[in-house]
Structure 1
């Protein structure tokens, strides 16, 4: 019989909190059981294994990130939308490093299609419509933006910009200004 108070949703949220505290790679069913003070076996009626738990955390993180991005994009276009979208990712990664790492988990196509991954792609394409970027350049641009945002955030979280006289904030602004200029240059006109 399932332990009272334990649900898949509660375990997923607790797993996400644990990921932010100790790192996504360290999240296991055993670590979660220890957190709740229960035996590992009592969690298996809610999650199949550690991979299932990590997938659930990834889907939660993608939903949270998509919700924040959608709110930030409302009523914005062009550079304003680009900057708002990028800042959501950066802020989320800083506030929730474990969840951000979870959002990078490779999901099988069926799981990804059922989750918020599609929303992220749609929002990115919506930003690019403001620049009037045609295909196949639009697909290239989606990949470029994802690479720049993720690469920058990952390097920043790892302390890669800590020992330079130029602030990370100044470089972030420069990168976003450069992306905006590139996208305007590539527009269909």
Structure 2
């Protein structure tokens, strides 16, 4: 019988807190049960083991990212939309490093829910970039480019990869500006 008040949302919130404070690898069923002051077998009333818990974390993170991106991009287009998308991406990665890491896992081939959650982010990136007139493969290449750029920056920052004493926000602004100028140049060829 499930403990009163214990549900999947409670588990995900507690697991997110662990992931964000101690890293995704610290999220284990034993540690989560200890944090919630329950026995580990009680978790199986809500998740099917650690892989399912991490999948649920990823889905939660993707949903939150989508919401954050939509809010940031509301009523924006062109450079403003791409900048809003980019800053929302970095803000999420900074605020939720463990949850962000969980979102980076690739969906299993038969996991429709994960694929759909990831596709929402792709659609939001395409929406941010729609003012540049990119179509088909060019648009997808641009989405891959911005994702690579944002993930690379967020990952390097999280791992302490920027050792020089320069303002990272200035670097990030320059990175976005360079991306925007390059994206604009694609259509002038």
TM-score normalised to structure 2 length: 0.94
Cα distance in 1 for partners of 2:105, 2:113 equals 11
What residue ranges of structure 2 are gaps of 5+ in the alignment? Answer: none
Contact 2:81 2:129 in 1 (8 A): no
Show the counterpart of 1:20.
Answer: 20
Secondary structure of the 1:151 match is: helix
1:134 aligns with: 135
Look up the match of 2:168: 168
Rounded to whole Å, the distance in 1 between the matches of 2:83 and 2:118 is: 20
The answer as to whether partners of 2:14 and 2:36 remain within 8 angstroms in 1 is no
Structure 2: distance between partners of 1:166 and 1:64: 30
**Kept after mapping to 2: 8 A contact 1:92/1:100:** yes
| Structure 1 residue ranges without an equivalent (≥5) | none
How far is 1:5 from its partner? 1.4
CA distance in 1, matches of 2:150, 2:76: 19
Q: Give the TM-score of the pair, scaled to structure 1.
A: 0.94
8 A contact 1:121–1:142 mirrored in 2 = yes
Aligned to 2:69: 69
Contact 1:134 1:187 in 2 (8 A): no
- Are the counterparts in 2 of residues 57 and 99 from structure 1 also a CA contact under 8 Å? yes
The 3-state SS of whatever aligns with 2:45 is coil
Partners of 1:96 and 1:73 in 2: how far apart?
Answer: 20
Distance 1:135 1:40 in 2: 48
